[in-house]
Structure 1
């Protein structure tokens, strides 16, 4: 009899997803997992409504809904000591484009670049126009994620 190990996630939290989708200004992933009470205050405080309940009931960001404007309201409302000062940089996450991008298949699409206010996404003109991410300009806000028709963009550490 074969065992589907993916189904085992139903009985516990998937800490990898929790860490990848954590809120801005979370000081330490372990501390977040240990001290977050899953109260939901941050969900209601988010003006963009992109904070959702994720694995194990932990709050996480869903960039398929929209972008983070880094307002800091999630950190301000939290009663637990899991966030660092919002005057600091929110995180070191950046947008990452995978191989399913339509541009790699020579299909014209610039939805990511058109949605990037920081202009971190550009297209190199030439034989094949593929997107380039300027890591210095990318804030990791996730504005490019939802508009991507092939779901080829994620925001990662």
Structure 2
């Protein structure tokens, strides 16, 4: 405030009425702040525009004409909690494909854009604790089974998507 008083008083050469000068400076500063707030409000996105921008950021990839396919093999996919996590995250990432469980062994095939596949791959390979994701009765019966883990079998490109949603079999 004192800096503005000095600048204004030098520019106007009116130091006879410091109170009037201070009042004028305060009103100009308030106008400046209000103009700043008004500009921000005018630029603010509506909730629908904000949702659309977030979806574009997460899922749109305008430069890719092909889909990425990844195949994961899990030694024991019999625990219902991990099946639920796999299913829900595939749907949230808008992935297409399927998960097949046969005799406890699981294969998950997902396909879509690069961003979604990267997020899903991080979930499958790093975030899920596969060693603790086995049924308790299986742990008591046999100790000779290999440790439960998820392995990325294949990652590649295809020209177009072969299915349009994620399913569990």
Q: TM-score, normalised by structure 2?
A: 0.29
Higher helix share: 2
Q: Higher relative CO (CA 8 A, sep ≥ 6), structure 1 or 2?
A: 2
Q: TM-score, normalised by structure 1?
A: 0.31
Higher strand share: 2
The structure having more radius of gyration, on CA atoms, is: 2
